[in-house]
């Protein structure tokens, strides 16, 4: 049994790591096409982001692998595979419940990570990416990675969810984690500047957190930031892109300060 659990943990670690490399790599490639030179001069930083992220993949993968083994072999969790077990309307509701719970956990642990002592010990690793790139989504100190690794495995014991809906949650988590850090806005302006953008977090909102630190702590939604007075609106990437253009000009010098 122990060997099977360890094998499941190893398999999930590989899945998380490969998923990270594929998704972050795809968006890094898209960045090179959409904004050539945006990551100019950041090769050493990106290598560091990849190393920290692959270490985080193990921290995320081990509890996920243990829970996956328990679900398949012991029925530990509330994950279900029979779509008729709950009404169809519960499928999207369960996704929303998971995202809301994850967002709440992330907001408060993220604020906690910005306390001076914890910031120096752990969260400074993530903020060392100046500016963050598509490779920075999982670039965490192990202490911070652990706070993120427990939330979804814990939720599957509490809130029923179809296995496909859980896949949707994990896909949203992965894509939003990468796109919020890649240095440009992938979503249409009508979305992030419109009524929907007033409540959803995209790169334009998270960019301001990386510029000013003490604000915009949320992951998916702006609800907690608004309730707690930590929402400072959206930033823009014009300055970052202008710096890139200056650095790319003949005789230009890279300037990577926010």
Number of Cβ within a 10 Å radius of residue 212:
12
> Is 258 within a domain?
no
165-169 own/partner pairs: CB under 8 Å, 24+ apart:
165/91, 165/92, 165/94, 165/95, 165/98, 166/79, 166/98, 168/95, 169/95, 169/98, 169/99, 169/102
Alpha helices in the chain (DSSP H): 2-34, 43-74, 90-113, 116-118, 124-127, 142-149, 151-155, 163-179, 189-192, 203-212, 223-228, 238-248
User: 213 is written with which tokens?
Assistant: 């630190």
Torsions phi, psi of 80, nearest 5?
A: -125, 155
Report yes or no on 253 lying in a domain. Answer: no
In a domain, 34, yes or no: yes
Q: Nearest to residue 204, comparing CAs of 242, 173, 231?
A: 231
Phi–psi pair at 9, nearest 5 degrees: -65, -40
Q: d(Cα 58, Cα 71) in Å, to the nearest integer? A: 20
Give residue 257's pLDDT: 46
Nearest-10 crossing angle of helices 142-149, 90-113: 150
Residue 255 belongs to some domain of the structure = no
Check: pTM over 0.75? Answer yes or no: yes
- Domain-located, residue 254: no
Q: Output the pLDDT for position 247.
A: 60
Q: Which residues pair with 79 in a beta bridge?
A: 161
Q: Which tokens go with 28?
A: 């890094």
Judge whether 125 and 144 are in contact, CB under 8 Å.
yes
The answer to the question of residue 175 being in a domain is: yes
* Average pLDDT per block of 10 residues along the chain, 258 residues long: 94 97 97 93 96 97 96 95 97 98 98 97 95 96 97 98 98 96 91 90 93 95 98 81 61 50
Tally of domains within the chain: 1
The C-alpha atoms of residue 258 and residue 239 are separated, in whole angstroms, by 8
Residue 228 lies in a domain: yes
Task: Say if 43 falls within a structural domain.
Answer: yes
pLDDT value of position 130: 87
State which residues form the domain around 63.
1-248
């Amino acid at each position: 049994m122990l060997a099977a659990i360890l094998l499941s943990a190893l398999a999930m670690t590989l899945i998380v790591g490969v998923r990270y490399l594929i998704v972050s790599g795809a968006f890094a490639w898209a960045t090179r096409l959409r904004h050539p030179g945006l990551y100019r001069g950041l090769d050493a930083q990106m290598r560091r982001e990849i190393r920290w992220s692959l270490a985080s993949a193990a921290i995320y993968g081990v509890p996920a692998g243990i829970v996956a083994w328990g679900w398949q072999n012991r029925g530990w969790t509330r994950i279900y595979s029979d779509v008729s077990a709950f009404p169809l309307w519960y499928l999207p509701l369960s996704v929303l419940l998971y995202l809301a719970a994850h967002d709440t956990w992330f907001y408060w642990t993220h604020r906690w990570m910005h306390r001076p002592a914890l910031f120096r010990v752990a969260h400074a690793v993530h903020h060392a990416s100046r500016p963050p790139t598509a490779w920075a989504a999982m670039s965490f100190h192990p202490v911070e990675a652990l706070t993120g690794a427990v939330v979804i495995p814990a939720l599957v014991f509490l809130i029923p969810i179809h296995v496909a809906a859980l896949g949707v949650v994990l896909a949203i988590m992965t894509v939003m984690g990468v796109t919020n850090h890649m240095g440009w806005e992938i979503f249409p302006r009508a979305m992030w500047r419109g009524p929907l953008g007033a409540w959803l977090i995209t790169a334009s909102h998270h960019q301001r957190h990386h510029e000013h630190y003490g604000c915009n702590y949320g992951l998916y939604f702006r609800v907690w930031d608004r309730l707690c007075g930590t929402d400072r609106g959206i930033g823009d990437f014009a300055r970052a892109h202008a710096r890139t253009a200056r650095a790319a000009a003949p005789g230009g010098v890279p300037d990577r300060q926010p």
